[in-house]
Structure 1
Amino acid sequence: MLGKLTGPAAGLTMVAALTGLTPPAAAQSGVAWRPCAGEGLPEGMECAAIKVPVDWARPRGRKVELELARLPVGEPGRRIGSVLGVPGGPGADGIEDLKHAAGDLTELRRRFDLVAYKPRNAVWRERMPASCGRPALTLSEPRDRRQYAALSATMAKGFKACRDDDRTGLFAHLDSLSVARDMDAVRQALGEKRLSLMANSYGGVPAAAYIRLFPQRIRAMYLDGVVNQTEGWPTTNLVAAGGMEAALTRFGRWCAETPACALHGQDAAEVWRELTRDADREPIPVTSEQFGEGELTGWRLRSFGFVPDPGQDGSRWLAFAASVDKARRGDGSGFAEFVLGNANVWAMPGALAMTCGDERGYTGWDQLREYRRQFREVAPSFAGASFDALGCTGWPVEVANPARPLDTRGLPPMLGVGTLEGDFPWTERFTQMVPGSVTVGYDGPGHVMYLSGKKCPIAYATAYLTELRLPAPGTVCPAE
């Protein structure tokens, strides 16, 4: 059972002996750093760029430029090395992460250069052709083998058009193994023998790929709200499903205790279930300003409609309850933009190209049907096919980074952080692969604590990355 501790320093245990009391000198960087241009940047931020192969199997072929940024170490005489941020998304820009988090990472910066980069998938997102941003269809759940085959054929056409129009060459090389090789190119450019890593959210996928390719190059790894792709996406999504069901139960209790909730005095969770069941039988017509006319099916509502995070002072749940109340009376406007938007975005070939290479799609109709059966058992209120896996149906390129067990022998113990109401199970399943690792729970809502400015998780991360110390198993940070 998780026990709450009184502070970030309580219960810290040494997990690795510190070898040598004299810190290493600054690495001899091969990067030409310069002051970053722009307004509102963290003080002292420097920028640079490196070029890496588009296709790592052809290192002398076409190159893509990756932007870098760093905040130099605050105490050069006590410098340990570089901490490289591994952003999520996929498609998030690590430089923007560093700009956002810089003020909360000042203690970590005392001993480290804080380094960020714009991954190849973020470069792709900015340069992909227009055809890659057009949805192949509005995503719906196939109900039988014939509908699944039709979905696959339509998505395949969309992928082909995107690939044919791509002039960057990146379409087929956005998998996390390619991203991990880019990360090691950054390490080499920095002149570091080993890296300390901070990965968040989908960044857990390239983090696992880096472990697979370069285990000897890892000094330490901090994992914040990450997924464990090595188990396969069906398992990853099933792990998350239990959290969604628990969040719906919490929403029901909150609504019962909150007079301002539009469903107060009713079984709010059951009202949601009834809404989705009714929408399965008779979809609700809606209009989106961006995506035009469409309909809210039960599957689309279950996939995109529920909000597990209550938000500041319950603001998100207040809006959700109001939208549910209107939708059950035939007015789905409260869900239209977000639900139809996601049903289209997750059918955009350019967005899906950033994940399909990590084996995110179903292997076929039989796997989808079995997954749907398992989902009904784990989270009946959200049962159905996984939208992200559906989008990758029809992926035309061999999967470069399939899910498979990870060899963790010889790795340093790692630190994870996850919200008990959300991503803790994801992160813990990752850290459990590495002997001696610990995952700290955060007793509140949210996702990616070091980007949210949460002081307790950041303090643990700083102690771990600086001194290679981990908190005691079962440590929980109180909500801030």
Structure 2
Amino acid sequence: MIKIRAVPLRRRRSGRRTWPVIAVMAAVLAATAPAASAAGIDQDDGRLAWRDCAGEGVPAQMRCASIEVPADWSRPQGQKITLDVARLPATEPARRIGSVVGISSGYGIQEPARSAADLAELRRRFDLVGFDTRTTTWIAHMPQACTQPGASLHDPRDAKDFAALAAAMSDAFEQCRKADTTGLFAHLDGLSIARDTEAIREALGEERVSFMAGGIGGTAAAAYARLFPQRIRAMYVDGVNNQVEGWPAQRLRGLPVLRGMLGRFAAWCARTPACALHGQDAEAVWLKLLRDADRHPIPVTSSSYGEGKLTGWLLTSIVPLDPGPRNADWLAVADAMDRARRGDGSGFADQALFTARHAATPGAQVMSCGDDRGYTGYAQLEDFRRKARKIAPEYAGAAIDALGCAGWPLPVANPSRPLPTRGLPPFLGVGTTWVDHTSTDSFTSMIPGSVTVPYDGPGHVMYLSGKKCPIRYATAYLTDLTLPRPGTGCPAE
């Protein structure tokens, strides 16, 4: 029996946000957490041996533990992996209700420490529990063969072009699978993470627990609701995709959001003299740049990712979604647009070439292909294109992350399909109107009695962003099971 323990990776910190969602996901996946020390071990509940946590910025009260789970839940006696768990105990233990378990938005066992100050009111009545998902183990131990891009991704011209791209990615996936010693290649899907979550609930010794799930944790939250509805006391979801509905449908839902963000960017530029495109129609500049770059790709060189070409299709993957602190990202993207239309794509080079490389890297894509992210074939892609052209024709190309799962060599472990809602309590969702309210609401609306609160501003995963209004509603719901009235919203803070 091989046991593999996750080795924490060092988080890269930066003062600016990345533009495309896929790059944000990649940065989140590089997140780490403080390691547990061997001192101060106690076993005070379930079967978790809690010990002092060691690490910079770790609250003194935070305790750490680890739990062993099967790499493949269909073979419980087979290869094992070890997941790290962290807990911040309730500050009013006499009034404690139970545990709130975070289904990771990417921060894993750092999440209780990261959100401790903002969730102080919630913590009066609850232990805050976070854990590193099995993707942390995969990132730490994936073989070198999994880190090489399998293809040069592009928007397929026809069925033959799609088949060739899928075959190249299939070969890369197979090489990655053959080199894998973790046993995780085929088991990084939301259902596997949901079963890990249930093992942690059992180890906590609680009949039912409450959950907070954000961002990429939404897929595992949906899987947990499918498998263990009776174990959910309450479920708060924040900025999640609706994997249940299917990725092409979610992409279509997101197209008006992309158009809306572009409109906001253009309006900001029109009233901001510091914008490099001030006095011009920034939206028209962007759309013309996309058309021109598809006809005449812009050669670029990146010190990190080598040489490449910017096409309009690739540029759509880095649409300016978020202004960033003090509009720094919008200032940068306006400058990059201005230079790119003059033939200098250097402002987009690092971001675009990273995105292209990440989406074609089997070790990165394996973490979502099992959740039905890829196109089933060219016919599905063409169906998406037909529908997308009616909504936002400039974004009607293949989604680059879904294209990276073309050629996935295994049956999809967690296919998109209807979610049985019997036995589930009403959920509370929060989503930002600028980015993810549409997807979050499409998920919660499947569950009778649920409510989604729109946050009218930019950002993603509001309970980890210190926003008081969403946190207030989340605290009331998780504590008293009280949902806000339908139609309730949060203004930007």
TM-score by length of 2: 0.90
Counterpart of 2:287?
A: 273
Counterpart of 1:416?
A: 429
User: Residues 263 and 321 of structure 1 are in contact (CA less than 8 Å); yes or no, is this contact kept in structure 2?
Assistant: yes
> Deviation at 1:441?
1.0
Q: Select which of 211, 225, 245 maps to 1:231.
A: 245
Q: Select which of 318, 336, 344 maps to 1:331.
A: 344
Q: Percent same amino acid among aligned pairs?
A: 60
Q: Select which of 407, 427, 430 maps to 1:394.
A: 407
Counterpart of 1:45?
A: 62
Distance in structure 1 (CA, Å) of the matches to 2:346 and 2:151:
21
**3-state SS in 2 of match to 1:69:** strand
Aligned amino acid, residue 480 of structure 2: E
> Deviation at 1:29?
2.2
Counterpart of 2:153?
A: 139
Aligned amino acid, residue 179 of structure 1: I
Counterpart of 1:476?
A: 489
Instruction: Write the deviation string for residues 170-217 of structure 1: whole angstroms up to 9, x where unpaired.
Output: 001111111100000000000010110000012111111001100000
> Deviation at 1:141?
1.2
Aligned amino acid, residue 131 of structure 1: A
Counterpart of 2:382?
A: 369
Distance in structure 2 (CA, Å) of the matches to 1:96 and 1:350:
23
User: Residues 171 and 353 of structure 1 are in contact (CA less than 8 Å); yes or no, is this contact kept in structure 2?
Assistant: yes
Q: Is 1:311 aligned to residue 317 of structure 2?
A: no
User: Residues 276 and 338 of structure 2 are in contact (CA less than 8 Å); yes or no, is this contact kept in structure 1?
Assistant: yes
Q: Select which of 446, 467, 473 maps to 1:460.
A: 473
Distance in structure 2 (CA, Å) of the matches to 1:287 and 1:427:
37
Distance in structure 1 (CA, Å) of the matches to 2:402 and 2:240:
18
Distance in structure 2 (CA, Å) of the matches to 1:316 and 1:288:
19
Instruction: Write the deviation string for residues 10-56 of structure 1: whole angstroms up to 9, x where unpaired.
Output: xxxxxxxxxxxxxxxx9932110011012310231100000001111
**3-state SS in 1 of match to 2:299:** strand
Counterpart of 2:257?
A: 243
Aligned amino acid, residue 343 of structure 1: A
Distance in structure 2 (CA, Å) of the matches to 1:291 and 1:418:
33
Counterpart of 1:169?
A: 183
Instruction: Write the deviation string for residues 432-464 of structure 1: whole angstroms up to 9, x where unpaired.
Output: 011111111111100000111111111110110
User: Residues 44 and 50 of structure 2 are in contact (CA less than 8 Å); yes or no, is this contact kept in structure 1?
Assistant: no
Q: Is 1:322 aligned to residue 322 of structure 2?
A: no
Q: Select which of 95, 120, 140 maps to 2:109.
A: 95
Unaligned runs of 5+ in 2: 1-42
Counterpart of 1:22?
A: none
User: Residues 170 and 409 of structure 2 are in contact (CA less than 8 Å); yes or no, is this contact kept in structure 1?
Assistant: yes
Distance in structure 2 (CA, Å) of the matches to 1:405 and 1:27:
39
Distance in structure 2 (CA, Å) of the matches to 1:132 and 1:327:
33
Counterpart of 1:349?
A: 362
> Deviation at 1:147?
1.0
Aligned amino acid, residue 122 of structure 2: L
Instruction: Write the deviation string for residues 97-150 of structure 1: whole angstroms up to 9, x where unpaired.
Output: 222111111111111110000000121111111111111123211111111011
Q: Select which of 225, 232, 238 maps to 1:211.
A: 225
Distance in structure 1 (CA, Å) of the matches to 2:136 and 2:148:
18
Q: Select which of 197, 200, 218 maps to 2:214.
A: 200
Distance in structure 2 (CA, Å) of the matches to 1:383 and 1:366:
14
Distance in structure 2 (CA, Å) of the matches to 1:27 and 1:190:
9
What RMSD, in angstroms, separates the aligned Cα atoms of the two structures?
Answer: 1.2
Distance in structure 2 (CA, Å) of the matches to 1:43 and 1:453:
21
Instruction: Write the deviation string for residues 332-379 of structure 1: whole angstroms up to 9, x where unpaired.
Output: 000000001000001110111100000111010111111112122222
Q: Is 1:381 aligned to residue 381 of structure 2?
A: no
Aligned amino acid, residue 231 of structure 1: E
Q: Select which of 291, 305, 308 maps to 1:294.
A: 308
Bigger drift between 144-153 and 373-382 goes to 373-382
Instruction: Write the deviation string for residues 391-442 of structure 1: whole angstroms up to 9, x where unpaired.
Output: 0001111101000000112211111001111100111111101111111111
Distance in structure 1 (CA, Å) of the matches to 2:404 and 2:112:
31
Distance in structure 1 (CA, Å) of the matches to 2:60 and 2:482:
29
TM-score by length of 1: 0.92
